[in-house]
Amino acid sequence: MNKEELKQLKVTALHCRQNVLRMIKANGSGHLGPAFSCLDIVTALYFHVMDVDPKNPDKEDRDRFLLSAGHKGMAQYAALAEKGYFEKEILDTFGQFKCRIPGHPDMHKLPGIEVNTGSLGHGLNLACGMALALRQDKKKSRVFALMGDGELAEGSNWEAAAIAAQYKLDNLCVIVDANGLQISGHTKDVMSYEPITDHFAGFGWAVTEIDGNNMEEVVATFDKLPLESGKPNLIVAHDIKAKGFSELEDQVGCHYWAPDQEAMARAEKELEDAIKEVLAQ
């Protein structure tokens, strides 16, 4: 990847964060921390990695993206809007009755949403099913599932971990958005699944760890897929919750944010400055 493309991806990730602020502004609150932490990964997927077409969102051979941690929905809406799946004005309806972008994604409401999520521990099994069906139909499509590290405590994930390995689903890539925080505190204190890579490797996955907020590293890792032929792929993306708004970064309280006007203005200013900084590089 050349420098210019990398720069553009970084700017797009910041634009996506601006889209998140737009949704929070419309609703008065939202899951800022989880959305911001994973947005470098989500941006890389939609703007560099996945074969998708916003003009033809249901095209048969498309790659699939599932947000197992559905509360990061704003991150996906932000990327879909930025990619052109729908008009950005829809972002202003976030939280409204019968809006197309509810707090957790709904496949029947919006193009580009593959499944309904929100209840944790569902995405991996859905992703395995999609990967199995696509492989049976000899499709080249890959399935990407993003999950939270706190979500790993749901036992259903480990059922899926076994299935993916047993069926050698190398068309499946799971990214754990490992920001290390969940509602009650640090994930390692609440219920630790550290080291995450060891758990998945034990089931037979090909695993790697990256800095999930380092776009260069994120892209380079996705470009290497599959990590190993015949094995499902796990990327543990160590990132910072609320990355992009420094006063909330890595704070337990950043999971759900209901800002006053001044706080929103500070967040908007920080993103504008960050965009200028990247463009000046």
Partner 1 sequence: MSYEMFDAKKLLGDTVYEVAKERNDIVLLSTDSAPRSGFTTFIEKMPEAYYELGIMEQAAIGVGAGMAVAGKVPVWCGPAPFCTARPFEFFKVDLGYMHQNMKVIGRNCGFNYADLGPTHYGLEDYGLVRMIPDVVILAPQDASELKGAIKAMLDYVGPVYLRLSTAKLPKIFEEKPFEIGKGNLIEDGEDVTILTTGEITVNTLAAVELLKAKGVSVRVVGLPTISPIDTDIIVESAKKTGRLVTVEEHFTVGGLGTIVEEITAENCPVKVKKIGVPFTYISAGPYDDMIQYCGLDPESICNSVMEFLK
Binder among 29, 93, 156, 251 for partner 1 (CB under 8 A) = 156
Q: Is 119 in the site for partner 1 (CB under 8 A)?
A: yes
- Please give the single-letter amino acid code of residue 278: V
Q: Is 169 in the site for partner 1 (CB under 8 A)?
A: no
Q: Is 72 in the site for partner 1 (CB under 8 A)?
A: no
Q: Is 130 in the site for partner 1 (CB under 8 A)?
A: yes
Compute the chain's Rg from CA coordinates. 18
- State which residue, 7 or 109, has the beta carbon closest to partner 1: 109
Only one of the segments 155-163, 175-183, 188-196, 234-242 lies at the binding site for partner 1 (rule: CB under 8 A); that segment is 155-163
Nearest to 32 by CA among 256, 274, 187: 256
Sequential DSSP letters for 71-117: GGHHHHHHHHHHHTSS-GGGGGGTTSTT-SS-SS--TTTSTT--S--
Q: Is 132 in the site for partner 1 (CB under 8 A)?
A: yes
Strands 185-186 and 206-211: unpaired
* Residue 86 neighbours by CB distance under 10 Å: 18
Q: How far is the CB of 236 from partner 1 (least distance, A)?
A: 22
In three-state secondary structure terms, 145 is strand
- State which residue, 9 or 113, has the beta carbon closest to partner 1: 113
Q: Is 136 in the site for partner 1 (CB under 8 A)?
A: yes
Site for partner 1 in 88-117 (CB under 8 A): 107-108, 114-116
- From CA 159, how far away is CA 125, in angstroms rounded? 8
Question: Which positions lie near partner 1, rule CB under 8 A?
Answer: 107-108, 114-116, 118-119, 121-122, 124-134, 136-137, 155-156, 159-160, 162-163, 167
